Structure 1
Amino acid sequence: MLVGFSLLGTACESDEFQDAPSASAPDRAQAQAPSATPPARPGASQNLPADHPPVAQRGGTAAGGQMGGGQMGGNSQVAPPQTDQQGMSPSQFGKVGPLRWSTPESWRAVKPASSFRLAEYHLPGEQGGQPATLTAFYFGKGAGGSIQANFDRWVGQFTQTEAKPVQTTRQVNGLKVHLIDVSGTFQVGAAMGGGQAQPNWRMRGAIVESQAGNFFFKLTGPKSTVAAHQDGFESFVSSFKAAGSGE
């Protein structure tokens, strides 16, 4: 399911462009001089979902600047990741690619809502309650930002937290898996120019280190729904394995 490691948001995102540098019109001489670098593609960064990991610029640095503050550089260019796994059908989630996993039968695999997501699952709420969503992301080897930068940004999507986030690390089938658990008031969709504060929400995240690069998983939803899938999430994490190992 690439809880993705969106394994898969991925800053305090009330206005991710608030710290972007301002620009002034050049004088006539400057305007006639050829540009040394092509301009950034307009509006590209606005296509990012709230839960995405930082995406590399063409220059090689991660878009998003300061992970906790959601700063964006003036020339950041963002495009959907190009990996062999992108465009998988829901029936293929966890069955192809360098990382494999399995999910409980109650988790419904759906077509990802964003091209940045590798996989997406909807987890039903109890007795008709509000569901939770697990998103997965994969950007290739060396991409997606550091473990801690992603965790800091995910925690930053909570305007209030009930307690200090809990981070742990475990070995799963020879893979190093980083986990985070945080509850509080979650700002849903803030990076998309709005968002609604949801009290009593919980996020469980997992980032898997593999030889092919990091996989990001992020589970978010009402505390009661996430708690109801506690055992399912644990079995999901325990199922991570590299392709070819024990198959």
Structure 2
Amino acid sequence: MRQLSLLPLLLMLASLTLLLPACGKREDPTAGLNTPAAPAPTSTASAPTAPPIPGATGSVAAATSAPTDPSSWTTSTREDPANLARCAGLVFDKPALWPWMAPSMRFRTLQYSVPGSGGSPSAELIFSVFIGSDGGGIQMNLNRWIQQFRPTDGVPARVEQSTKTINDMAISYVELEGSYAGMGAAAPKPNWAQLGAIIQAPGRTVYVRLLGPDKTVLENVSSFESLVDSVREGVSG
């Protein structure tokens, strides 16, 4: 009698043992529906770039591509082509009849003689170069140039100023006429003139002056302006 009463209980326990593992292996019906897909392989090819905008060649581009390392600059010598002036990584077209001459004073990087006509004395074409912020501000130097020209016989010195941009370089231009009192001069020199251009090139400032007797300077205004307007970066100097 005891054996018969225990048999149903043993069968029930066996059934429960078989059902429990099966319940543990049941799959989640939502599995895979919200699982993020594996990221796609990243391509190593460069993304296409938009075409350059016409006219977008500002001073930033010029500053990054300009040869601002002074060791790469070439300064013209007597043996160089007579129609070019090279200075501070820039190139200028100049009259071939303006001969090279050795710089006669400190802070003159390059110098040429500008002959006068009809017996008028020669003038000087002078290039001076300053790196970075050396040499002071633009307006400070313009004021210094202006103050060097004094009245002649009570007539105030003539001063004309203008600005322009050539090849992304800002240029301040001044034309002066009067009695010139240069640094260290014993007395002002009457009837003198100066054409001056301050060129703000990337990383440096180039000062260009045509200075001398007013007749010689003023008859070469067009030539000086053409020289300044021709300024461009030089590949090797």
Common topology (TM > 0.5): yes
Higher relative contact order (CA 8 A, sep 6+): 1
Partner of 1:169: 163
SS at match of 2:104: coil
Partner of 1:56: none
User: Structure 2 CA distance, aligned partners of 1:173 and 1:180?
Assistant: 19
The question of 1:108 aligning with 2:99 is answered yes
Tell me the CA shift for residue 210 of structure 1. Answer: 0.7
Instruction: Quickly say closer, same or farther: Cα 1:238–1:88, change in 2 above 3 A.
Output: closer
Partner of 1:202: 193
Task: Answer whether contact 2:75 2:88 (CA < 8 A) is retained.
Answer: no
Partner of 2:176: 182
Q: Residue by residue, what CA displacement relative to the aligned partner does 1:12-45 show, whole Å, maximum 9, x if unpaired? A: xxxxxxxxxxxxxxxxxxxxxxxxxxxxxxxxxx
Partner of 2:77: 89
Residues paired across the two proteins, number: 162
User: Structure 1 CA distance, aligned partners of 2:142 and 2:108?
Assistant: 17
Tell me the CA shift for residue 236 of structure 1. Answer: 0.5
Task: Answer whether contact 2:117 2:216 (CA < 8 A) is retained.
Answer: yes
Consecutive unaligned residues in structure 2, runs of 5 or more: 1-69
User: Structure 2 CA distance, aligned partners of 1:226 and 1:174?
Assistant: 27
Q: Give every structure 1 segment of 4 or more consecutive aligned residues whose post-TM-superposition deviation is greater than 4 Å.
A: 85-88
SS at match of 1:153: helix
User: Structure 1 CA distance, aligned partners of 2:88 and 2:211?
Assistant: 24
Partner of 2:218: 227
User: Structure 2 CA distance, aligned partners of 1:185 and 1:86?
Assistant: 35
Tell me the CA shift for residue 91 of structure 1. Answer: 4.0
Tell me the CA shift for residue 129 of structure 1. Answer: 1.2
Query: What is the TM-score normalised by the length of structure 1?
Result: 0.59
Instruction: Quickly say closer, same or farther: Cα 1:96–1:121, change in 2 above 3 A.
Output: closer
Tell me the CA shift for residue 231 of structure 1. Answer: 1.8
Instruction: Quickly say closer, same or farther: Cα 1:164–1:223, change in 2 above 3 A.
Output: closer
Query: What is the TM-score normalised by the length of structure 2?
Result: 0.61
Q: Residue by residue, what CA displacement relative to the aligned partner does 1:183-220 show, whole Å, maximum 9, x if unpaired? A: 111124xx33x433211111111000111211011111
User: Structure 2 CA distance, aligned partners of 1:116 and 1:182?
Assistant: 21
Q: Which has the larger radius of gyration?
A: 2
Consecutive unaligned residues in structure 1, runs of 5 or more: 1-82
Instruction: Quickly say closer, same or farther: Cα 1:139–1:173, change in 2 above 3 A.
Output: same
TM-align CA RMSD:
2.6
Identity score, percent:
27
Instruction: Quickly say closer, same or farther: Cα 1:137–1:226, change in 2 above 3 A.
Output: same
The question of 1:126 aligning with 2:135 is answered no
Instruction: Quickly say closer, same or farther: Cα 1:221–1:175, change in 2 above 3 A.
Output: same
More helix by share: 2
Tell me the CA shift for residue 174 of structure 1. Answer: 2.4
Instruction: Quickly say closer, same or farther: Cα 1:90–1:114, change in 2 above 3 A.
Output: farther
